[in-house]
Amino acid sequence: MSEVRILKNYINGEWVESKSLEAIEVYNPATKEVIAKVPLSTKEELNDAAAVAENAFHEWKNVAVPKRARILFKFQQLLLENKEELAKIITIENGKSLNEALGEVQRGIENVEFAAGAPSLMMGDSLSSIATDVEGTNYRYPVGVVGGITPFNFPMMVPCWMFPMAIATGNTFIMKPSEKTPLLVEKLVELLEASGLPNGVFNVINGAHDVVNGILENEHIKAISFVGSKPVGEYVFKKGTDNLKRVQALTGAKNHTIVLNDAKLDLTVREIISAAFGSAGERCMAAAVITVQEGIYDEFIQKLQSESGNIKMGNGLDDGVFLGPVIREENKARTIQYIEEGEREGATVLLDGRNSSSDDGYFVGPTIFEDVKTDMKIWQDEIFAPVLSIVKVKDLKEGIKVANQSEFANGACLFTDSASSVRYFRENIDAGMLGINLGVPAPMAIFPFSGWKSSFFGSLHANGKDGVEFYTRKKVVTARYLEPEFSQEG
Ligand code: NAD
Protein backbone atom coordinates (compact mmCIF):
# COMPACT_ATOMS: atom_id res chain seq x y z
CA MET A 1 0.00 0.00 0.00
CA SER A 2 1.38 3.41 -0.91
CA GLU A 3 1.88 5.89 1.90
CA VAL A 4 -0.73 8.60 2.29
CA ARG A 5 0.81 11.99 1.55
CA ILE A 6 0.63 14.86 4.01
CA LEU A 7 -0.48 18.12 2.44
CA LYS A 8 1.78 21.14 2.60
CA ASN A 9 1.26 24.83 3.20
CA TYR A 10 1.88 27.35 0.44
CA ILE A 11 3.84 30.41 1.55
CA ASN A 12 5.60 32.97 -0.61
CA GLY A 13 5.33 30.83 -3.76
CA GLU A 14 6.66 27.62 -2.14
CA TRP A 15 4.96 24.46 -0.87
CA VAL A 16 6.42 23.91 2.60
CA GLU A 17 5.92 21.14 5.14
CA SER A 18 4.01 22.11 8.24
CA LYS A 19 5.99 21.96 11.46
CA SER A 20 2.95 20.60 13.24
CA LEU A 21 3.14 17.04 14.50
CA GLU A 22 -0.61 16.64 14.16
CA ALA A 23 -2.36 15.72 10.93
CA ILE A 24 -5.87 14.43 10.28
CA GLU A 25 -7.19 12.16 7.57
CA VAL A 26 -8.95 13.38 4.46
CA TYR A 27 -11.44 10.84 3.08
CA ASN A 28 -13.14 10.14 -0.18
CA PRO A 29 -16.65 10.03 1.35
CA ALA A 30 -17.94 7.72 -1.40
CA THR A 31 -15.39 5.00 -0.63
CA LYS A 32 -14.14 5.83 2.90
CA GLU A 33 -10.61 5.68 1.46
CA VAL A 34 -8.03 7.96 3.09
CA ILE A 35 -6.79 10.13 0.23
CA ALA A 36 -4.44 12.47 2.11
CA LYS A 37 -3.58 13.83 5.50
CA VAL A 38 -3.95 17.48 6.34
CA PRO A 39 -1.61 19.07 8.88
CA LEU A 40 -3.12 21.01 11.76
CA SER A 41 -0.78 23.94 11.34
CA THR A 42 0.03 26.17 14.29
CA LYS A 43 -0.64 29.84 15.00
CA GLU A 44 3.08 30.49 14.54
CA GLU A 45 2.92 29.16 10.98
CA LEU A 46 -0.09 31.37 10.32
CA ASN A 47 1.79 34.35 11.73
CA ASP A 48 4.79 33.63 9.48
CA ALA A 49 2.52 33.48 6.44
CA ALA A 50 0.82 36.73 7.47
CA ALA A 51 4.20 38.47 7.70
CA VAL A 52 5.02 37.25 4.18
CA ALA A 53 1.63 38.41 2.89
CA GLU A 54 2.14 41.80 4.55
CA ASN A 55 5.49 42.19 2.78
CA ALA A 56 4.02 41.16 -0.56
CA PHE A 57 1.18 43.63 -0.05
CA HIS A 58 3.51 46.61 -0.26
CA GLU A 59 4.46 45.67 -3.83
CA TRP A 60 1.19 44.14 -5.02
CA LYS A 61 -0.92 47.17 -4.08
CA ASN A 62 1.25 49.25 -6.43
CA VAL A 63 0.85 46.94 -9.42
CA ALA A 64 -1.41 48.77 -11.87
CA VAL A 65 -4.99 47.56 -11.62
CA PRO A 66 -5.26 46.55 -15.33
CA LYS A 67 -2.09 44.49 -14.88
CA ARG A 68 -3.61 42.68 -11.90
CA ALA A 69 -6.76 42.11 -13.96
CA ARG A 70 -4.71 40.57 -16.78
CA ILE A 71 -3.44 37.89 -14.38
CA LEU A 72 -7.04 37.05 -13.56
CA PHE A 73 -7.93 36.87 -17.28
CA LYS A 74 -5.16 34.33 -17.71
CA PHE A 75 -6.32 32.45 -14.59
CA GLN A 76 -9.88 32.31 -15.97
CA GLN A 77 -8.58 30.82 -19.21
CA LEU A 78 -6.62 28.15 -17.33
CA LEU A 79 -9.59 27.32 -15.13
CA LEU A 80 -11.70 26.76 -18.25
CA GLU A 81 -9.02 24.50 -19.72
CA ASN A 82 -8.86 22.49 -16.49
CA LYS A 83 -12.57 22.34 -15.74
CA GLU A 84 -12.89 18.54 -15.86
CA GLU A 85 -9.88 17.96 -13.64
CA LEU A 86 -11.07 20.53 -11.10
CA ALA A 87 -14.53 18.92 -11.03
CA LYS A 88 -13.05 15.47 -10.53
CA ILE A 89 -11.03 16.63 -7.52
CA ILE A 90 -14.20 18.13 -6.01
CA THR A 91 -16.16 14.91 -6.50
CA ILE A 92 -13.40 12.81 -4.96
CA GLU A 93 -12.95 14.93 -1.84
CA ASN A 94 -16.53 16.15 -1.37
CA GLY A 95 -18.69 13.37 -2.82
CA LYS A 96 -21.07 15.47 -4.95
CA SER A 97 -21.82 14.18 -8.47
CA LEU A 98 -19.50 15.15 -11.30
CA ASN A 99 -22.31 17.17 -12.84
CA GLU A 100 -22.77 19.18 -9.65
CA ALA A 101 -19.00 19.60 -9.40
CA LEU A 102 -18.82 20.94 -12.95
CA GLY A 103 -21.56 23.41 -12.02
CA GLU A 104 -19.52 24.48 -9.00
CA VAL A 105 -16.40 25.02 -11.13
CA GLN A 106 -18.45 27.16 -13.50
CA ARG A 107 -19.74 29.32 -10.63
CA GLY A 108 -16.18 29.76 -9.39
CA ILE A 109 -15.04 30.85 -12.85
CA GLU A 110 -17.83 33.44 -12.96
CA ASN A 111 -16.36 35.00 -9.81
CA VAL A 112 -12.97 35.25 -11.47
CA GLU A 113 -14.59 36.87 -14.52
CA PHE A 114 -16.31 39.41 -12.30
CA ALA A 115 -13.10 40.18 -10.39
CA ALA A 116 -11.22 40.70 -13.68
CA GLY A 117 -13.41 43.79 -14.04
CA ALA A 118 -11.44 45.43 -11.20
CA PRO A 119 -10.33 48.43 -13.30
CA SER A 120 -13.92 49.61 -13.64
CA LEU A 121 -15.12 48.17 -10.31
CA MET A 122 -12.40 50.06 -8.40
CA MET A 123 -13.08 53.37 -10.06
CA GLY A 124 -13.99 56.06 -7.60
CA ASP A 125 -16.18 59.07 -8.17
CA SER A 126 -15.71 62.79 -8.25
CA LEU A 127 -17.54 66.10 -8.29
CA SER A 128 -15.77 68.92 -10.09
CA SER A 129 -17.41 71.70 -8.10
CA ILE A 130 -18.32 71.25 -4.44
CA ALA A 131 -17.57 74.90 -3.60
CA THR A 132 -15.96 77.77 -5.46
CA ASP A 133 -12.74 76.39 -7.00
CA VAL A 134 -13.02 73.25 -4.87
CA GLU A 135 -13.53 69.68 -6.07
CA GLY A 136 -13.96 66.33 -4.35
CA THR A 137 -12.63 62.94 -5.53
CA ASN A 138 -13.04 59.50 -3.99
CA TYR A 139 -10.32 56.88 -4.62
CA ARG A 140 -10.36 53.20 -3.67
CA TYR A 141 -7.42 51.33 -2.10
CA PRO A 142 -6.97 47.74 -0.88
CA VAL A 143 -7.21 47.08 2.86
CA GLY A 144 -4.09 44.88 3.27
CA VAL A 145 -3.81 41.19 4.14
CA VAL A 146 -7.12 39.29 3.97
CA GLY A 147 -7.82 35.94 5.67
CA GLY A 148 -10.28 33.50 4.09
CA ILE A 149 -11.88 30.64 6.06
CA THR A 150 -14.00 28.21 4.04
CA PRO A 151 -16.42 25.28 4.54
CA PHE A 152 -16.25 21.75 3.10
CA ASN A 153 -19.27 21.90 0.82
CA PHE A 154 -17.91 24.10 -1.99
CA PRO A 155 -14.12 23.65 -2.13
CA MET A 156 -13.86 25.75 -5.29
CA MET A 157 -16.80 28.13 -5.46
CA VAL A 158 -16.57 29.53 -1.93
CA PRO A 159 -12.83 30.33 -2.06
CA CYS A 160 -13.58 31.98 -5.42
CA TRP A 161 -16.10 34.25 -3.67
CA MET A 162 -13.09 35.61 -1.81
CA PHE A 163 -9.60 35.59 -3.23
CA PRO A 164 -10.17 36.67 -6.88
CA MET A 165 -11.81 39.94 -5.82
CA ALA A 166 -9.46 40.40 -2.86
CA ILE A 167 -6.32 40.13 -5.00
CA ALA A 168 -7.79 41.98 -8.00
CA THR A 169 -8.40 44.96 -5.72
CA GLY A 170 -4.77 44.84 -4.52
CA ASN A 171 -4.89 42.85 -1.28
CA THR A 172 -2.83 39.79 -0.45
CA PHE A 173 -4.56 36.66 0.77
CA ILE A 174 -4.20 33.80 3.25
CA MET A 175 -6.54 30.92 2.65
CA LYS A 176 -7.51 28.39 5.34
CA PRO A 177 -9.36 25.68 3.42
CA SER A 178 -11.77 23.28 5.11
CA GLU A 179 -9.75 20.47 6.65
CA LYS A 180 -12.35 18.08 5.15
CA THR A 181 -11.84 19.23 1.54
CA PRO A 182 -8.34 20.73 1.32
CA LEU A 183 -7.20 19.25 -2.01
CA LEU A 184 -8.78 21.50 -4.62
CA VAL A 185 -6.77 24.54 -3.55
CA GLU A 186 -3.56 22.78 -4.68
CA LYS A 187 -4.83 22.92 -8.26
CA LEU A 188 -5.88 26.55 -7.83
CA VAL A 189 -2.34 27.38 -6.70
CA GLU A 190 -0.84 25.60 -9.73
CA LEU A 191 -3.06 27.65 -12.05
CA LEU A 192 -2.45 30.92 -10.21
CA GLU A 193 1.30 30.36 -10.54
CA ALA A 194 0.90 29.63 -14.25
CA SER A 195 -1.08 32.87 -14.56
CA GLY A 196 1.90 34.86 -13.31
CA LEU A 197 0.71 35.77 -9.83
CA PRO A 198 3.71 37.07 -7.85
CA ASN A 199 4.92 35.15 -4.78
CA GLY A 200 3.30 35.98 -1.48
CA VAL A 201 0.05 37.35 -2.93
CA PHE A 202 -1.88 34.10 -2.38
CA ASN A 203 -0.90 31.79 0.50
CA VAL A 204 -2.44 28.65 1.98
CA ILE A 205 -2.26 27.51 5.59
CA ASN A 206 -3.93 24.17 6.22
CA GLY A 207 -5.43 23.38 9.57
CA ALA A 208 -8.45 23.91 11.78
CA HIS A 209 -9.28 25.90 14.93
CA ASP A 210 -5.73 27.06 15.73
CA VAL A 211 -5.25 28.59 12.29
CA VAL A 212 -8.68 30.26 12.49
CA ASN A 213 -7.80 31.71 15.90
CA GLY A 214 -4.47 32.84 14.48
CA ILE A 215 -6.29 34.66 11.67
CA LEU A 216 -8.60 36.32 14.21
CA GLU A 217 -5.67 37.57 16.27
CA ASN A 218 -2.97 38.38 13.73
CA GLU A 219 -2.01 42.06 13.58
CA HIS A 220 -1.31 42.07 9.81
CA ILE A 221 -4.70 40.65 8.84
CA LYS A 222 -7.10 43.50 8.29
CA ALA A 223 -10.17 41.74 6.87
CA ILE A 224 -11.67 38.26 7.24
CA SER A 225 -14.08 36.47 4.92
CA PHE A 226 -15.72 33.48 6.59
CA VAL A 227 -18.19 30.97 5.20
CA GLY A 228 -19.38 28.08 7.37
CA SER A 229 -21.83 27.14 10.13
CA LYS A 230 -23.71 29.61 12.31
CA PRO A 231 -21.98 28.98 15.66
CA VAL A 232 -18.50 29.26 14.14
CA GLY A 233 -19.46 32.28 12.01
CA GLU A 234 -20.88 34.08 15.02
CA TYR A 235 -17.66 33.37 16.95
CA VAL A 236 -15.46 34.52 14.05
CA PHE A 237 -17.51 37.70 13.63
CA LYS A 238 -17.47 38.59 17.34
CA LYS A 239 -13.80 37.83 17.93
CA GLY A 240 -12.65 39.32 14.62
CA THR A 241 -14.52 42.59 15.14
CA ASP A 242 -13.37 42.70 18.79
CA ASN A 243 -9.86 42.69 17.34
CA LEU A 244 -10.93 45.62 15.12
CA LYS A 245 -10.92 43.74 11.80
CA ARG A 246 -13.60 43.96 9.18
CA VAL A 247 -15.44 40.65 9.04
CA GLN A 248 -18.07 39.17 6.74
CA ALA A 249 -19.45 35.84 7.97
CA LEU A 250 -21.83 33.91 5.73
CA THR A 251 -23.37 31.16 7.82
CA GLY A 252 -26.04 28.45 8.11
CA ALA A 253 -29.46 28.17 6.57
CA LYS A 254 -32.84 26.49 6.62
CA ASN A 255 -34.39 27.47 3.31
CA HIS A 256 -38.12 27.55 2.75
CA THR A 257 -39.96 26.93 -0.49
CA ILE A 258 -43.64 27.71 -0.92
CA VAL A 259 -45.70 25.86 -3.53
CA LEU A 260 -49.03 27.46 -4.44
CA ASN A 261 -52.05 25.80 -6.09
CA ASP A 262 -51.23 27.42 -9.44
CA ALA A 263 -47.63 26.07 -9.60
CA LYS A 264 -46.57 24.01 -12.62
CA LEU A 265 -46.32 20.58 -11.04
CA ASP A 266 -43.64 18.90 -13.21
CA LEU A 267 -41.25 21.85 -13.04
CA THR A 268 -41.87 22.34 -9.31
CA VAL A 269 -41.15 18.74 -8.36
CA ARG A 270 -38.08 18.54 -10.61
CA GLU A 271 -36.61 21.74 -9.14
CA ILE A 272 -37.38 20.78 -5.55
CA ILE A 273 -35.80 17.33 -5.87
CA SER A 274 -32.66 18.91 -7.26
CA ALA A 275 -32.62 21.64 -4.57
CA ALA A 276 -33.29 19.26 -1.65
CA PHE A 277 -31.20 16.24 -2.59
CA GLY A 278 -28.54 17.60 -4.98
CA SER A 279 -25.09 17.73 -3.31
CA ALA A 280 -26.69 15.43 -0.67
CA GLY A 281 -28.48 18.47 0.79
CA GLU A 282 -25.08 19.89 1.82
CA ARG A 283 -25.75 23.32 0.35
CA CYS A 284 -26.44 26.56 2.17
CA MET A 285 -29.11 27.12 -0.50
CA ALA A 286 -30.63 23.62 -0.22
CA ALA A 287 -34.42 23.38 -0.02
CA ALA A 288 -35.08 22.17 3.52
CA VAL A 289 -38.77 22.92 4.15
CA ILE A 290 -41.51 22.84 1.51
CA THR A 291 -44.73 24.59 2.44
CA VAL A 292 -47.51 23.43 0.16
CA GLN A 293 -50.96 24.94 -0.39
CA GLU A 294 -53.90 22.61 0.30
CA GLY A 295 -55.28 22.45 -3.25
CA ILE A 296 -52.13 20.99 -4.85
CA TYR A 297 -50.93 19.10 -1.77
CA ASP A 298 -51.95 15.49 -2.57
CA GLU A 299 -50.86 15.62 -6.19
CA PHE A 300 -47.56 17.27 -5.24
CA ILE A 301 -46.76 14.75 -2.50
CA GLN A 302 -47.54 11.79 -4.72
CA LYS A 303 -45.24 12.99 -7.48
CA LEU A 304 -42.46 14.10 -5.13
CA GLN A 305 -42.51 10.79 -3.29
CA SER A 306 -42.48 8.64 -6.41
CA GLU A 307 -39.77 10.63 -8.23
CA SER A 308 -37.55 10.93 -5.15
CA GLY A 309 -37.76 7.15 -4.79
CA ASN A 310 -36.08 6.80 -8.23
CA ILE A 311 -33.00 8.87 -7.35
CA LYS A 312 -29.75 7.07 -8.18
CA MET A 313 -27.33 7.16 -5.26
CA GLY A 314 -23.66 6.25 -5.49
CA ASN A 315 -20.15 7.41 -6.23
CA GLY A 316 -20.41 10.82 -7.89
CA LEU A 317 -17.85 9.78 -10.50
CA ASP A 318 -20.20 7.09 -11.88
CA ASP A 319 -22.55 7.82 -14.76
CA GLY A 320 -26.09 8.80 -13.90
CA VAL A 321 -25.46 9.18 -10.14
CA PHE A 322 -27.44 12.06 -8.69
CA LEU A 323 -27.04 11.64 -4.94
CA GLY A 324 -23.57 11.22 -3.45
CA PRO A 325 -22.58 10.58 0.17
CA VAL A 326 -22.58 13.07 3.04
CA ILE A 327 -19.12 14.23 4.02
CA ARG A 328 -18.24 12.03 7.03
CA GLU A 329 -19.44 9.11 9.17
CA GLU A 330 -20.51 11.53 11.93
CA ASN A 331 -22.61 13.53 9.46
CA LYS A 332 -24.35 10.30 8.45
CA ALA A 333 -24.93 9.35 12.11
CA ARG A 334 -26.26 12.86 12.84
CA THR A 335 -28.65 12.64 9.88
CA ILE A 336 -30.01 9.31 11.11
CA GLN A 337 -30.46 10.80 14.59
CA TYR A 338 -32.52 13.63 13.05
CA ILE A 339 -34.69 11.11 11.19
CA GLU A 340 -35.31 9.26 14.47
CA GLU A 341 -35.99 12.56 16.23
CA GLY A 342 -38.50 13.54 13.53
CA GLU A 343 -40.39 10.28 14.05
CA ARG A 344 -40.36 10.78 17.83
CA GLU A 345 -41.69 14.32 17.41
CA GLY A 346 -44.67 12.99 15.47
CA ALA A 347 -43.83 13.76 11.83
CA THR A 348 -44.70 11.10 9.24
CA VAL A 349 -41.89 9.55 7.20
CA LEU A 350 -42.92 9.42 3.54
CA LEU A 351 -39.54 8.29 2.26
CA ASP A 352 -36.97 6.82 4.62
CA GLY A 353 -33.33 7.34 3.67
CA ARG A 354 -32.23 4.84 6.29
CA ASN A 355 -33.59 2.03 4.11
CA SER A 356 -31.47 2.98 1.12
CA SER A 357 -28.36 4.03 3.05
CA SER A 358 -25.20 2.09 2.27
CA ASP A 359 -21.99 1.46 4.17
CA ASP A 360 -19.71 1.51 1.11
CA GLY A 361 -19.37 5.24 1.79
CA TYR A 362 -21.20 7.75 3.99
CA PHE A 363 -24.48 7.28 2.14
CA VAL A 364 -27.95 8.22 3.41
CA GLY A 365 -30.86 8.04 0.97
CA PRO A 366 -33.35 10.85 0.36
CA THR A 367 -35.77 11.32 3.24
CA ILE A 368 -39.12 13.11 3.22
CA PHE A 369 -41.24 13.97 6.26
CA GLU A 370 -44.80 15.33 6.23
CA ASP A 371 -46.95 16.71 9.08
CA VAL A 372 -43.95 18.77 10.19
CA LYS A 373 -44.59 21.51 12.78
CA THR A 374 -42.55 24.59 13.62
CA ASP A 375 -41.76 23.38 17.14
CA MET A 376 -39.99 20.27 15.83
CA LYS A 377 -36.18 20.07 15.68
CA ILE A 378 -36.36 18.80 12.09
CA TRP A 379 -38.14 22.07 11.17
CA GLN A 380 -35.82 24.33 13.18
CA ASP A 381 -32.29 22.97 12.74
CA GLU A 382 -30.04 23.03 9.72
CA ILE A 383 -29.64 19.27 9.13
CA PHE A 384 -27.39 19.72 6.07
CA ALA A 385 -28.28 16.34 4.59
CA PRO A 386 -30.86 14.94 2.11
CA VAL A 387 -33.79 15.37 4.53
CA LEU A 388 -36.85 17.34 3.46
CA SER A 389 -39.76 18.52 5.63
CA ILE A 390 -43.24 19.21 4.25
CA VAL A 391 -45.79 21.53 5.85
CA LYS A 392 -49.37 21.98 4.57
CA VAL A 393 -50.82 25.53 4.55
CA LYS A 394 -54.04 27.13 3.44
CA ASP A 395 -52.51 30.06 1.53
CA LEU A 396 -49.41 32.15 0.74
CA LYS A 397 -49.86 34.35 3.81
CA GLU A 398 -49.74 31.33 6.11
CA GLY A 399 -46.73 29.94 4.18
CA ILE A 400 -44.82 33.17 4.71
CA LYS A 401 -45.78 33.27 8.39
CA VAL A 402 -44.37 29.75 8.81
CA ALA A 403 -41.13 30.56 6.96
CA ASN A 404 -40.54 33.81 8.82
CA GLN A 405 -40.41 31.97 12.16
CA SER A 406 -37.06 30.44 11.19
CA GLU A 407 -33.95 31.87 12.83
CA PHE A 408 -32.26 31.60 9.43
CA ALA A 409 -33.05 33.64 6.32
CA ASN A 410 -30.68 32.74 3.53
CA GLY A 411 -32.81 31.75 0.51
CA ALA A 412 -36.55 31.31 -0.07
CA CYS A 413 -38.44 30.17 -3.17
CA LEU A 414 -41.96 30.46 -4.50
CA PHE A 415 -43.61 28.32 -7.17
CA THR A 416 -46.60 30.05 -8.72
CA ASP A 417 -48.05 31.47 -11.93
CA SER A 418 -49.33 34.63 -10.27
CA ALA A 419 -47.49 37.94 -10.50
CA SER A 420 -49.36 39.38 -7.53
CA SER A 421 -48.33 36.38 -5.38
CA VAL A 422 -44.72 36.91 -6.47
CA ARG A 423 -44.87 40.54 -5.39
CA TYR A 424 -46.54 39.74 -2.07
CA PHE A 425 -43.90 37.07 -1.42
CA ARG A 426 -41.01 39.40 -2.30
CA GLU A 427 -42.31 42.14 -0.03
CA ASN A 428 -43.09 39.94 2.98
CA ILE A 429 -40.67 37.03 3.16
CA ASP A 430 -37.62 37.29 5.45
CA ALA A 431 -34.80 36.07 3.23
CA GLY A 432 -32.00 37.71 1.30
CA MET A 433 -32.03 35.53 -1.83
CA LEU A 434 -35.32 34.71 -3.50
CA GLY A 435 -36.17 32.25 -6.24
CA ILE A 436 -39.30 32.32 -8.38
CA ASN A 437 -40.13 29.02 -10.08
CA LEU A 438 -36.63 27.74 -9.43
CA GLY A 439 -35.17 25.69 -6.61
CA VAL A 440 -31.73 27.13 -5.81
CA PRO A 441 -31.72 30.95 -5.88
CA ALA A 442 -27.92 31.35 -5.63
CA PRO A 443 -27.17 34.79 -7.15
CA MET A 444 -24.61 35.18 -9.90
CA ALA A 445 -21.23 36.69 -8.96
CA ILE A 446 -22.35 40.18 -10.01
CA PHE A 447 -24.92 40.22 -7.17
CA PRO A 448 -24.29 39.97 -3.43
CA PHE A 449 -24.76 36.63 -1.67
CA SER A 450 -27.10 38.27 0.73
CA GLY A 451 -28.32 36.13 3.63
CA TRP A 452 -30.34 37.74 6.45
CA LYS A 453 -30.88 37.04 10.17
CA SER A 454 -28.67 34.22 11.52
CA SER A 455 -27.51 33.33 8.00
CA PHE A 456 -25.12 36.28 7.95
CA PHE A 457 -23.06 38.41 10.33
CA GLY A 458 -21.58 41.65 9.05
CA SER A 459 -22.76 44.42 6.79
CA LEU A 460 -21.09 43.82 3.41
CA HIS A 461 -21.87 40.48 1.79
CA ALA A 462 -19.64 38.45 -0.52
CA ASN A 463 -19.73 39.17 -4.28
CA GLY A 464 -21.31 41.96 -6.29
CA LYS A 465 -20.58 45.56 -5.35
CA ASP A 466 -20.54 44.49 -1.69
CA GLY A 467 -17.44 42.39 -2.42
CA VAL A 468 -15.66 45.37 -3.97
CA GLU A 469 -16.59 47.53 -0.97
CA PHE A 470 -15.47 44.88 1.53
CA TYR A 471 -12.00 44.52 0.04
CA THR A 472 -11.38 48.25 -0.44
CA ARG A 473 -11.17 51.41 1.63
CA LYS A 474 -11.54 54.94 0.42
CA LYS A 475 -9.56 58.13 0.30
CA VAL A 476 -11.53 61.26 -0.41
CA VAL A 477 -9.53 64.24 -1.64
CA THR A 478 -10.99 67.72 -1.28
CA ALA A 479 -8.86 70.08 -3.36
CA ARG A 480 -8.89 73.81 -3.99
CA TYR A 481 -7.56 74.88 -7.38
CA LEU A 482 -6.92 78.58 -7.64
CA GLU A 483 -7.44 80.39 -10.91
CA PRO A 484 -4.15 80.35 -12.86
CA GLU A 485 -2.60 83.75 -13.25
CA PHE A 486 -2.46 84.87 -16.87
CA SER A 487 -0.41 87.66 -18.45
CA GLN A 488 -2.34 90.86 -19.23
CA GLU A 489 -1.85 90.52 -23.01
CA GLY A 490 -3.48 87.04 -23.08
P1 NAD B 1 -17.87 24.76 9.83
O2 NAD B 1 -18.41 25.95 10.48
O3 NAD B 1 -17.76 23.51 10.63
O4 NAD B 1 -16.40 25.04 9.26
C5 NAD B 1 -16.13 26.20 8.50
C6 NAD B 1 -14.68 26.61 8.75
O7 NAD B 1 -14.53 26.98 10.12
C8 NAD B 1 -13.69 25.49 8.47
O9 NAD B 1 -12.60 26.01 7.76
C10 NAD B 1 -13.30 24.98 9.85
O11 NAD B 1 -11.97 24.54 9.92
C12 NAD B 1 -13.50 26.20 10.73
N13 NAD B 1 -13.96 25.83 12.08
C14 NAD B 1 -14.85 24.85 12.41
N15 NAD B 1 -15.06 24.83 13.74
C16 NAD B 1 -14.30 25.81 14.27
C17 NAD B 1 -14.10 26.29 15.60
N18 NAD B 1 -14.71 25.75 16.63
N19 NAD B 1 -13.23 27.32 15.77
C20 NAD B 1 -12.59 27.88 14.73
N21 NAD B 1 -12.75 27.46 13.45
C22 NAD B 1 -13.60 26.44 13.21
O23 NAD B 1 -18.75 24.51 8.51
P24 NAD B 1 -18.73 23.28 7.52
O25 NAD B 1 -19.36 22.10 8.20
O26 NAD B 1 -17.41 23.13 6.90
O27 NAD B 1 -19.70 23.82 6.37
C28 NAD B 1 -21.10 23.72 6.44
C29 NAD B 1 -21.75 25.00 6.92
O30 NAD B 1 -21.39 26.08 6.07
C31 NAD B 1 -23.27 24.94 6.86
O32 NAD B 1 -23.78 25.52 8.03
C33 NAD B 1 -23.63 25.78 5.65
O34 NAD B 1 -24.91 26.35 5.67
C35 NAD B 1 -22.56 26.81 5.70
N36 NAD B 1 -22.38 27.47 4.43
C37 NAD B 1 -22.90 28.72 4.30
C38 NAD B 1 -22.83 29.39 3.09
C39 NAD B 1 -23.43 30.76 2.93
O40 NAD B 1 -23.20 31.38 1.92
N41 NAD B 1 -24.20 31.26 3.88
C42 NAD B 1 -22.20 28.78 2.00
C43 NAD B 1 -21.65 27.50 2.16
C44 NAD B 1 -21.76 26.85 3.40
- For 255-436, CATH number? 3.40.309.10
**In angstroms, what is the C-alpha Rg of the chain?**
24
- Whether 255-436 and 9-251+459-477 are alike in CATH topology: the answer is no
Residue nearest atom 26 in ligand 1 by C-alpha distance: 151
User: Which residues neighbour 420 within 8 Å (Cβ) at sequence distance 6 or greater?
Assistant: none
Assess whether the C-beta atom of 181 lies below 6 angstroms from ligand 1. Answer: no
Assess whether the C-beta atom of 178 lies below 6 angstroms from ligand 1. Answer: yes
- For 9-251+459-477, CATH number? 3.40.605.10
User: What spacing in Å lies between the alpha carbon of 153 and ligand 1's midpoint?
Assistant: 9
Residue nearest atom 23 in ligand 1 by C-alpha distance: 228
Assess whether the C-beta atom of 151 lies below 6 angstroms from ligand 1. Answer: yes
Q: Report the residue count for the chain.
A: 490
160 catalytically annotated: no
Answer yes or no: is pLDDT of 356 > 90. Answer: no
Q: Which residues pair with 139 in a beta bridge?
A: 475
Residue of 232, 239, 380 to test ligand 1 pocket, by largest number of atoms within 8 Å of CB: 232
Is this complex scored with an ipTM above 0.95?
Answer: yes
The reported pTM is 0.98
Q: Is 384 annotated as a binding residue?
A: no
Answer yes or no: is pLDDT of 168 > 80. Answer: yes
pLDDT digits (tens, 9 = 90+) for 12-64: 999 999 999 999 999 999 999 999 999 999 999 999 999 999 999 999 999 99
Answer yes or no: is pLDDT of 430 > 90. Answer: yes
User: Per residue, what are the HEC states of 41-108?
Assistant: CCHHHHHHHHHHHHHHHHHHCCCCHHHHHHHHHHHHHHHHHCHHHHHHHHHHHHCCCHHHHHHHHHHH
Pair 387, 353: CB distance under 8 Å: yes
Answer yes or no: is pLDDT of 112 > 80. Answer: yes
Assess whether the C-beta atom of 442 lies below 6 angstroms from ligand 1. Answer: no
Q: How confident is the model at residue 490 (pLDDT cuts 50, 70, 90)?
A: low
Active-site residue, from 52, 188, 191, 284: 284
> Which atom of ligand 1 lies nearest, measured to the CA of 253?
34
Domain boundaries defined on the chain = 9-251+459-477, 255-436
Assess whether the C-beta atom of 229 lies below 6 angstroms from ligand 1. Answer: yes
